[in-house]
Amino acid sequence: MIYIRPYHIQETRQQGFDFFNVPRVDYDALLDQLHFPVVWAYEDTLGVWLPAEADYDFINFLRPLPNTIRNDALPKGRFQQLCRMGLITPPRRTLAEMQEEARSHGIAIIRNLLHPDYCKSMLKSYYYRNEHLHDRWKDLEGIKRTSVNNMPLMRLIHQGTEGLVKAILGEDIKTSYSFASSYESGTTLPAHTDRPQCVYNISFLLGSDPCDARLSDWPFFIKHGELTNRVELEAGDGVLYSGVRDLHWRDMMPTKIAHTLGVFFHYVAGSFTGSLD
């Protein structure tokens, strides 16, 4: 059986919902960036409602559906649509598995933080169509990328991850800022540690060009003490690590990948009093 997440349909910009209340999220800016109608699905692991842009063909299909349905009862292609809209919960690791990995390896791989099809459709489209917001600057030698800090939709997801990160680490933390970035062919990510606003990070992958490229062919390396973790992620996956404590890097991107898209979510101690940007 397939379980369809709770959802709300927003047909116009003027409609509002009680759940437009996540701290630090500029919902006015987010709504200005969305194309309506929008389906807001409840992301149970993060405890937030996330938007996906729809059309009325899909909405008319969705409205009469029960919240549980057999897969073979769905018309062809509709299951993939439900996944792209964030209405299906993907398989995930247990909290206990991630806690143990954090203790033993200094990292925690978060498989399917969000559904990969949602990342490759909604989140990828959202980043690239806001090209007027993109910055291009070289903060480390060898980097070729565009980036945007604190995009409203990324911040909404970021705020939702706070409880998960607290649970994995067993520490009092809070969000600082997010950094969405598209890396381009020929780039590297030199070995480095991060600024004080990045005590902990989630490096979260959203997609690639070509869309069927294996993102895991461009691994992420995190050195924790004497242990070097080789982290292989695909769209929808993230890895939690300490940006200020542990050296981290990527070698040159393989030529078969033209672009990758991801977002860094950054966190600080709950008692941190400095700038969060």
| CA dihedral sign, ordered 197, 200, 206, 212 | positive
Two structure tokens written together for 126? 């959202």
Would you list the domain boundaries of the chain? Answer: 2-84, 95-269
Burial of 224-244, coded b for 16+ CB within 10 Å and e otherwise, reads beeeebebebbbbbbbbbbbe
Say how many C-beta atoms besides its own lie within 10 A of residue 191's C-beta.
12
pLDDT value for 139 = 66
What's the pLDDT at 251? 97
Provide the mean pLDDT of the chain: 96
pLDDT at 112: 99
Asked whether the predicted pLDDT for residue 137 surpasses 90, the reply is: no
d(CA 244, CA 201): 9
User: Does 59 have pLDDT greater than 80?
Assistant: yes
Q: Contact 179/149 with Cβ under 8 angstroms?
A: yes
For 66-117, write each residue's pLDDT tens digit. Answer: 999 998 999 889 999 999 999 999 999 999 999 999 999 999 999 999 999 9
Percent of the chain with pLDDT over 90: 93
What confidence tens digit (pLDDT) does each residue in 16-38 have?
A: 999 999 999 999 999 999 999 99
| Mean pLDDT, range 113-126, rounded to an integer | 97
CATH 3.20.20.70 fits 95-269, yes or no: no
* 3-class state of residue 72 by DSSP: helix
Cα gap 173→181, rounded to integer Å: 23
User: Per-residue pLDDT for 138 more than 70?
Assistant: no
Residues 134 and 87: their CA atoms lie apart, in Å, by 29
